[in-house]
Amino acid sequence: MTHGFQDEEILGKPYDARLVRRLLSFVRPYARHVVVAVAMLLVVAGFELALPYLTKLAIDDYIVATVREVRVEGEGSPEAQAFLRAHAGDLVPMEGVGGEGARSFAVPSRVLSKYDPREVARASAAGLITDRTFYIADPEAVARAGIEGAPGVARAGDRVAVSRERLAALSPEQTRVLRDGDFRGVRNVAVVFVAALVLTFVFSLLQINMMEVTSQRVMYDIRMKVLAHLQRLSLAFFDKNPVGRLVTRATNDVEVLHEMFTSIVITLLRDVFTLIGVVILLLNLNWRLALVSFAVLPAMVWATAIFSVRIRDAFREVRVRVARINASLQESISGIRVTQIFRRELESFTRFAGINHDLFRANMRQLKVFALFMPLMELASSVAIALVIWYGGGRVLRSTLSLGTLVAFLSYVQMFFRPIRNLAEQYSTMQSTMASSERIFLLLDNREMIPEPERPVRPAEVRGRVVFENVWFSYDGSEDTLRDVSFTVEPGETVAIVGATGAGKTSIISLLERFYDVQRGRITLDGVDIRDMEKSFLRANLGLVMQDVFIFAGDIEGNIRLGNRSVTGERVREAARHVNADRFIERLPGRYSERPVHRETAGAIQRDGPRARVHALDRTAAAPGVRARSRVRSEDPHPGRGDVEHRHRDRDPHPGCAQETHGGPDGDRHRAPALDDPARRQDHRDAQGEGPGGGDAPGAARRPWILLPPVPASVRAMSEILQAGWGSHNRPLDRTASLCHHSNYGAS
């Protein structure tokens, strides 16, 4: 995995089948919900496609329900006879309309519009199809309207044909009576239209709700899997990856996937269904007019291809600028103290203004691409509609296309171009989704973990004998931090390892806790290689207080419990008394319910003495008898972070905190009580009746302590111990007493 913000610039393909298959593995548990949602989506798309067709039915069958006259003089020409034979099933004879020696037939306009336009054109040119139109009504309606036998009214089979001229001369009341069936038909179509709209709303609501629930469950599973995976990774992984980037994987990147499931996937499926349905309906209604409306597609495909490249470049540039501005903001805010101390506010502001201006320009370039593309899409859609009106309108005038069909075509053409616009608009979002998916799966594929043993060894009793045997260790594999280090810590023994910053003090503790594995040599606990122990068992028998103090969100009691519900409130308070933390806790307004204020956004609180003691309480509170279970205790204090009250109490070490060390400014000497000479150390253990942990029951195994107190750079003798001298002399570390003899420890 790359470092810095460069990996934020990665843009995936608009579609990556491999990533989609992996995403579907998270969706598979909710396949039933997805199937139901997709079925509802099909229903919604069907209702939307039905609306223009209902409009066509209302116009052709009820609003403009007319027939055209087909007139044949005498026996008719061969062309006329062929026309009559070909369409005998559609022609209805009309009586008393054609005149003497002529025969007249009625053919519905919507039926005539389906004939071959060339055939209709030839018949019209030959006078076979006239311009006269009639309205076909029921005989009862004609009788109620009082126009039976009137001029322009003739029998047409079992119905009555009313000429357009006669129909226009009727009063409104006569028209209402005559066309009562049409009024009912239009009302029924309107009811169905409204019902389709209501059902579209209902199914859309259910479908969106189901997909949102499914998407949230999928996002929940992904976030939990990301967090569980992060908890299994070794500290070496976190050394190389900033916390902000990892948080982004579980938040921003997962949220992008949520947008994909709820917006892109749903919109894409709906648009695909709509596009297929529109194409089928257009070709079914009138394939010639459909081909005319498709005439602009080549230009749209060409424009979309160019747009895809341009928007990809523009979107990448915006992501680069956003990553840089985030890095600049993080740097400026994190280093605000240094900026203010050296009065570099203007320089910092100027640098940020330049980066911000670059982001502004990148956004403007992206906006220009969209500002050009979207009007082009609208223009292409308008040109297609204009072609439909031009060609379809002429067909309507020539009676080769019904008015309802033309109106439906206009609606379907608009629906046809909507999915194309949506796909173009979501191109960059799809790229971002694929990029987020790739980053998440790169994290989940990382196997930088401390392996568990295949056959773990779990001693029946852990006494606490720690041995480092010729240990070599390197963080990066190129520069050794520890070289051939060997030493032994016996049960009940306290060891102080002193060295300059970077000498490897914390590395020793990290190796003992098996946060990292050694490259060469081995570390044993009671003669068992710690790599042969389960990590949970090993760490349950190790007590550790590191120099980096972290206080979790919540109250003080929750930080002492650390999520262990078996720890009662009384045990929490007893643990606080055990380490002298109860004094400052009781002075807080909320006491154990007080919520500590975090000083740093990352959660790493400055190492004040009270905070450090709260940090150390979890193991004390978790064990029976308010004693830590751990048989090995280690402490890695930070230089110069002790509170005055705690320092004064160190003069009289209390049980459980007998070996706290503190550093101070230049003249402040670092102390490790009971470590200045072997006699004092042994006397201290005898006085306590135990190892430095204090308070163990008689006869209990003594716990060894490993202290890592920092020292001033002037203490040369001790700072060299953890340097190359250990490895170069190729000898085990001598007893801690001899080390402390040179450490300038003493009473302050």
Q: Residue 127: its pLDDT value, please?
A: 85
Lowest mean pLDDT segment, chosen from 324-333, 492-501, 716-725 = 716-725
530: three-class secondary structure by DSSP: helix
Hey, which bits of 54-120 come out as E strands?
A: 66-73, 92-94, 102-108
pLDDT at 51 over 90: yes
DSSP 591: G
Q: What pLDDT does 282 receive?
A: 92
Question: Do the beta carbons of residue 625 and residue 575 sit within 8 Å?
Answer: no
**CATH topology assigned to domain 6-15+218-444:** ABC transporter transmembrane region fold (1.20.1560)
pLDDT over 50 at 257, yes or no: yes
User: Is the separation of the CB atoms in 60 and 189 below 8 Å?
Assistant: no
Q: How does DSSP assign 424-491, residue by residue?
A: HHTHHHHHHHHHHHHHHHHHHT---B-PPPSS----S-----EEEEEEEEESSSSSEEEEEEEEEE-T
Question: What pLDDT score was predicted for residue 55?
Answer: 94
Spatial CB neighbours of 242, under 8 Å, sequence gap ≥ 6: none
Write down the pLDDT at residue 328: 80
The pLDDT value given to residue 650: 46
What b/e string do you get for 310-334 counting C-beta neighbours within 10 Å, with b at 16 or more?
bbbebbbbbbbbbbbbebbeeebee
- Which helix (H) or strand (E) element contains residue 28? none
Contact (Cβ atoms closer than 8 angstroms) between residue 420 and residue 296: no
DSSP 676: S
What are the residues whose beta carbons fall under 8 Å from the beta carbon of 320, sequence distance 6 or more?
Answer: 9, 362
pLDDT digits (tens, 9 = 90+) for 466-478: 888 888 888 877 7
Residue 112 makes CB contacts below 8 A (sequence gap 6+) with 68, 120, 129, 399, 400
Checking if the pLDDT of 137 tops 80, the result is yes
Percent of the chain with pLDDT over 70: 76
3-state secondary structure (DSSP) of residue 218: helix
What pLDDT score was predicted for residue 278? Answer: 92
Task: Give the mean pLDDT of 571-585.
Answer: 81
Instruction: Report in angstroms the alpha-carbon separations of 529 from 457, 512, 736.
Output: 9, 11, 22
**pLDDT, greater one: 542 or 84:** 84
Does the structure show a pLDDT above 70 at 675?
no
- The answer, yes or no, to whether residue 520 has pLDDT greater than 80, is yes
Q: What angle do CA 417, 419, 423 make, to 5 degrees?
A: 120
Q: pLDDT value at position 617?
A: 54
Q: Does this chain's domain 6-15+218-444 share its CATH topology with 549-629? A: no
Query: Which amino acid would we find at residue 460?
Result: A
Pairing between β-strand 542-545 and β-strand 632-635 as defined by DSSP bridges: parallel
Q: pLDDT: is 99 or 541 the higher one?
A: 541
In the prediction, which pLDDT does 111 show?
87
Confidence band of 652 (pLDDT split at 50, 70, 90): very low
Nearest Cα neighbor of 656 from 562, 576, 748 is 576
Q: Is pLDDT at 77 greater than 70 in this prediction? A: yes
What is the pLDDT, as a whole number, of residue 202?
Answer: 94
Q: How many residues does the chain have?
A: 748
DSSP designation for 669:
P
- In this predicted model, which residue has the larger pLDDT, 570 or 386? 386
CATH class of 549-629: alpha beta
pLDDT single digits (tens) 583-625: 878 888 888 888 876 543 333 334 444 544 555 555 455 444 3
Segment 163-178 shows an average pLDDT of: 89
Closest listed residue to residue 278, CA positions, set 380, 392, 394, 410 = 410
Give the pLDDT of residue 505.
Answer: 80
Range of weakest confidence among 14-23, 409-418, 724-733 = 724-733
Residue 45 burial class via C-beta count within 10 angstroms: exposed 0-12, middle 13-18, buried 19 and up: buried
- Judged against a pLDDT cut of 60, whether residue 398 lies above it is answered with yes
Fold of 452-541+630-748: Rossmann fold (3.40.50)
Radius of gyration of the chain (CA): 43
pLDDT at 44: 92
What does the pLDDT average to over 309-317? 77
Question: What are the extents of the domains in the chain?
Answer: 6-15+218-444, 66-175, 452-541+630-748, 549-629
Q: What is the predicted pLDDT for the residue at 327?
A: 73
Mean pLDDT, rounded, for 352-357: 90
pLDDT score for 186:
94
Token pair 């179509």: residue: 189
13-32: average pLDDT: 81
Give dist(CA 727, CA 392) in Å, integer.
92
Q: What is the mean predicted confidence (pLDDT) over 238-249?
A: 75
Amino acid at the residue 65: A
Q: How confident is the model at residue 49 (pLDDT cuts 50, 70, 90)?
A: very high
Worst-scoring range by mean pLDDT, 179-183, 644-648, 679-683?
679-683
Give the span between the Cα atoms of 274 and 652, in whole angstroms: 82
Query: Does the global pTM surpass 0.75?
Result: no
Instruction: Round the average pLDDT of the chain to a whole number and report it.
Output: 75
- Which tokens belong to 262? 């709820």
Strand 66-73, strand 129-137: pairing: antiparallel
Residue 702 has pLDDT above 50, yes or no: no
Q: Percent of the chain having pLDDT more than 90?
A: 12
Residue showing tokens 């160190």: 650
What band does 580 get if pLDDT is binned at 50, 70 and 90? confident
Residue 54 has pLDDT above 90, yes or no: yes
Helix (H, G, I), strand (E, B) or coil at 155: strand
pLDDT of residue 723: 34
What is the spatial distance between Cα 474 and Cα 233, in angstroms, rounded to a whole number? 18
Query: How close are the terminal C-alpha atoms of the chain, in Å?
Result: 49
Checking if the pLDDT of 660 tops 70, the result is no
More reliable by pLDDT, 102 or 189: 189
> Which stretches within 260-344 are classed as H helix?
266-285, 287-293, 297-334, 336-341
Q: How far apart are CA 354 and CA 720, in angstroms?
A: 47
Place of tokens 């599973």: 221
**pLDDT exceeds cutoff 80 at 656:** no
Average pLDDT over residues 62-84: 86
User: Residue 647's pLDDT is what?
Assistant: 46
Cα→Cα distances 434→222, 249, 428, 467, Å: 15, 13, 10, 50
pLDDT at 58 over 50: yes
Higher pLDDT: 364 or 97? It is: 364
Candidates 292, 321, 331; CA nearest to 412 is 292
Which two structure tokens, joined as six digits, stand for 477? 């594999």
pLDDT, position 46: 92
- What amino acid is encoded at 153 in this protein? V
Decide: 272 and 419 in contact? Cβ < 8 Å: yes
For residues 80-109, average pLDDT: 84
pLDDT of 715 reads 29
CB distance 510 to 504 below 8 Å: no
Q: How confident is the model at residue 703 (pLDDT cuts 50, 70, 90)?
A: very low
Query: How far apart, in whole angstroms, are the C-alpha atoms of residue 382 and residue 371?
Result: 17
> What whole-number distance in Å separates Cα of residue 508 and Cα of residue 706?
10
